Each structure stands twice: as structure tokens, then as C-alpha cells.
Amino acid sequence: MADINKLRRYIDNIYTQEEALDTLEHIKDPECQEAVNQVADEVWKESCDAYPISDYSCVEYKKEAQLLINHLEHQRSIWFRRLSIAAVSAAAVILLCVGGIQFYQKMQLQIPYASVSTSFGEKKRVTLPDGSLLILNSCSRIYYPIRFTGDVRKIMLNGEAFFKVVHNEKLPFVVKTNHFNVRVLGTQFDVKAYSSDELASVGVKSGKVQVNLPEAMMKIRSKEEISINIVSGEYTKRVRQNGTDLWVEGSTLRFNCTPIRDAARELERIYNCRITFASGQKFDNLISGEHDNLNLKAVLSSIEFVTGIHYKIDGNHVLLYHD
């Protein structure tokens, strides 16, 4: 129920802004109608007492008093509607301004990316925006921004690439793969991280690199290499005397405790063939060694000699099997 005294003060133009807003808020309430009628009657009686007039005039004044209350209610409705529209408009302007700023910032951050990929048996040389060079091995892909911004030079790799990174202590160079990141300031190194392979590796030709795994961080130096088993999470670090970029310099294949299935995928990428394993037979061999891969048959013959796994070539298809 509305306060009758507040209604009277409102009619008499004696009120604070807060009281006026409160009164206008309650006038529309159906429960307030009784109080409104009471105030209207009081106003009518007071006006009759102050100015003796005819009964007809008193009735008219009473109607005018009620109309005044109704007018105030109508004005309240218009006032609140205008206030709501203004508030919504202001909010919309604010949202547009904030949204515009965010959109502009987002557009500034959304630097276009370039993509380079290689097919079976193919290699490509790529110059990055900072002048760094890389050689992309077969069936690999890289993504990199058309210009490096921010405080890091980051590219994404699926496959294998050899990097010659321009040194910049203020802008670290990061190679992001599906399972780990490699961070350097400027050096020469190789990253092998095919999403289909069980083993991944990072080898350093000169300088040093930092390999960041989900639960570990390792640093390796010149002529060191780390192999990471993506399935088991195990890793090994070793020294490689002959360097890490034999595939870049020529056609030499190198395996070091490589699962036979990874070795088969390597041959598929180089020779554009399809290698399958005989069903119902177990293949858990680990392949080690280097081979001047003159042709697919020569490599398969070497694998057969070392492991006892036989092969059968039918066009583009190779079947590996045990006796």
C-alpha cells in the first residue's frame, strides 16, 4: 500500500526526487488505487471548503483531481518508457563502442597465415618472414603468419623440417607440434613430428634448443637428439656424431630403435607406396641403422636381412609378413 502522506506531498509539490520516483512507481499498482481515491477525495473536500461553489462545480473539481492523478500516472509511464529507451540506447552505444574496439583489436591480432605442404618424396625450401630458412620433408605441412607480431615467432608443424633460425634474443622462435613445442633463440635443428607416427624427435646441429612437453622440459645442445615415444611418454637423449640433417643433404635413411610400423610409414612418404602388414601376425620389431635408399626394394631387402620380415611387392602395394 502506498503512503498517503507521500501522495499528498506529491500533489502539493513537496517532495524529493527519490520520493517522486517512489510515488510514481507505486501509483500504477492496483493496490494503490484506494489510496489514490482517498487523496482525490481529500483534495476535492479541501477545495470545496476553501472556495464555496456549487455541487456541480465540486463534482467537476473532483473529476479534475482524479484526472490529475491519472495524468501523473500517464506521465510516469511515459517518463519510465523514455528512460528505458535512453538506457537501452546508451547501453547499445556502449556495447557498439566496446564491441568495435574488441573487433578492431581482434582484426589486428588476426594476422593471415600461410601454409606450405609437401607430397610423397618431395622436399621444399621455405623462407620465413624473419629471414629464417627451413627445409620441409615429404608429406609435411607448416603454418606460419605472413609477418611475426608480438613477443614470439611461432609456427606450426605436422611432419618433419630442418630449421636455420635467425638469432633474436628478444623474439624467441617456437615450433608448435601436436605433442610438444620447441623453443629457440637462433640455431639449426631438426624436428620430426608426424601425427601418424609413434616416435617423434628433435635433433640439434648447432646451438641449443628447449623442448617443452606437457609434463616435462628438456634442453639439448649441438649434436644431441631426443626421441619421444608419443604412446608411452618415454624419451631418450643421445649424441649423434653424424649430425641430424642427413635427409637434407642427400637421400640417406636413418632409423634408431624405430618401430617397424613407423619405418613403414617413412617408406610410404618417400616412395609414394602403400605398405600393409599380414593380418594375424605380430610386428613389434625396432629398426636401427642408416641406408642409402637408392630404391624401395633395396631398403626392404635390408629390413628383411636385419629382422627376418619378408616383403612382397605388387605394383604400388607392399605386403610385409613372417614365414
Among the candidates 219, 245, 271, a domain finishes at 245
Do 104 and 18 belong to one domain?
yes
For residues 10 and 123, state if they share a domain.
Answer: no
- Range picked from 108-112, 254-258, 282-286 for highest mean pLDDT: 282-286
CB 220 within 8 A of CB 208: yes
Residue 223's CATH number: 2.60.120.1440
Mean pLDDT, the chain, whole residue set: 77
Q: What is the pLDDT of residue 264?
A: 93
Say if residue 57 is in the same domain as residue 123: no
How far is it, in rounded angstroms, from Cα 25 to Cα 158? 65
Q: What pLDDT score was predicted for residue 29?
A: 66
Identify the domain containing residue 295 by its residue range. Answer: 251-323
Distance between CA atoms of residues 105 and 109, nearest Å: 6
Q: Are residues 61 and 160 in the same domain?
A: no
Domains: count for the chain: 3
Last residue of a domain, one of 108, 131, 151: 108
Q: What percent of the chain has pLDDT over 70?
A: 63
pLDDT of residue 237: 87
Lowest mean pLDDT among 4-8, 101-105, 129-133, 292-296: 101-105
Considering the domain architecture, whether residues 8 and 48 belong to the same structural domain is answered as: yes
Residue 271 dihedral angles phi and psi, to the nearest 5°: -105, 5
Q: At 207, which amino acid appears? A: G
- Does 101 have pLDDT greater than 70? no
Question: Could you tell me which residue, 189 or 50, shows the higher pLDDT?
Answer: 189
Q: 296: domain CATH number?
A: 3.55.50.30
Q: Are residues 122 and 214 in the same domain?
A: yes
Residue at which a domain ends, from 108, 130, 157: 108
Q: What is the dihedral of CA 306, 311, 313, 314, to 10 degrees?
A: -170
Residues 223 and 311 in one domain: no
Burial of 47 (0-12, 13-18, 19+ CB in 10 A): middle
Q: Does residue 186 surpass a pLDDT of 90?
A: no
- Count of other CB atoms within 10 angstroms of residue 186: 18
160 and 204 assigned to the same domain:
yes
Do 99 and 121 lie in a common domain?
no
Residues 90, 154 share a domain = no
> 153, 126, 125, 123: which is closest to 140 by C-alpha?
123
317 with 206, same domain? no
| 3-state secondary structure (DSSP) of residue 182 | strand
Same structural domain, 184 and 300 = no
Is the per-residue pLDDT at 218 higher than 70?
yes
